[in-house]
Amino acid sequence: DAKTTQPNSMESNEEEPVHLPCNHSTISGTDYIHWYRQLPSQGPEYVIHGLTSNVNNRMASLAIAEDRKSSTLILHRATLRDAAVYYCIRYSGGGADGLTFGKGTHLIIQP
Amino acid sequence: NAGVTQTPKFQVLKTGQSMTLQCAQDMNHEYMSWYRQDPGMGLRLIHYSVGAGITDQGEVPNGYNVSRSTTEDFPLRLLSAAPSQTSVYFCASRQANTGELFFGEGSRLTVL
């Protein structure tokens, strides 16, 4: 049970913004939303995380809905190197809770 | 800063053979874990550890053993390999109570 729902794949053009949606309608009040991405033949890498407020870092922005039942990862200007599988994950904290990875969204970037 | 180092990167085994996948991290992270990833699938948690001397099972632990004698190392043992264990294995670590996992580059295992 991945606890989140994402589209299987999305396609975008290079140098355009990309909005990757994630549904987490059963999220609890203390669960964080984490995003990871996995480039071909590599291990996943952390992208961004948030709890209630929108978050920005050098890689992306995370917009969290007011009711926290959904969120959107925003890549402001996609490049070919952003082609990857993006995973949206609920994390409830604590030392013993491993992150549950679903199948993610396969992002295809067209030149 | 090496981060999370996995060895070997590639391994071919025959059914019934045993082997150990090594994982080491140099970030003094308390939490370490092993995942497997099958083609077209997400990652599934095999075993994890919240500190030296403490290990626990994840979603798919059968056929695998782990130990955590030091903070740095978290080896994954296959006692009797089966073709169903053909997969890519990822080791990861993080500080306690944070979700940011750092992953190794993966170990691709084929069991014939």
Split at pLDDT 50, 70, 90, the class of B17 is: very high
The pairing of beta strand A105-110 with beta strand A9-13? parallel
pLDDT digits (tens, 9 = 90+) for A22-62: 999 888 888 889 999 999 889 999 999 999 889 999 889 99
Residue type present at position A96: A
pLDDT of residue B56: 92
Contacts of B1 (CB under 8 A, 6+ apart): B26, B27
Q: Establish if A101 touches chain B: CB-CB under 8 angstroms.
A: yes
CA–CA distance, A59 with B111 (Å, rounded to integer): 38
B61-88 mean pLDDT: 96
Give the DSSP per-residue string, chain A: --S-B--SEEEEETTS-EEEEEE-TT--TT-EEEEEEE-TTS--EEEEEESSS-EE-SS-EEEE-TTSSEEEEEESS--GGG-EEEEEEEE--STT--------EEEEEE-
pLDDT at B95 over 80: no
pLDDT at A111 over 80: yes
What DSSP character marks residue B85? G
CA within 13 Å, CB half, A86: 32
Split at pLDDT 50, 70, 90, the class of B1 is: low
Hey, are the CB atoms on B106 and A98 less than 8 Å from each other? no
pLDDT digits (tens, 9 = 90+) for A87-100: 999 887 665 566 77
Lowest mean pLDDT among A21-30, B5-14, B19-28: A21-30
> Which residues in chain A have their CB less than 8 angstroms from residue B99's CB?
32, 34, 49, 89, 91, 93, 99
In a mutagenesis test of the B interface, which of A99, A103, A105, A106 is the best target, namely the one with the most B β-carbons within 10 Å?
A: A99
CA–CA distance, B34 with B70 (Å, rounded to integer): 16
CB B6 within 8 A of CB B107: yes
The pairing of beta strand B19-25 with beta strand B10-13? unpaired
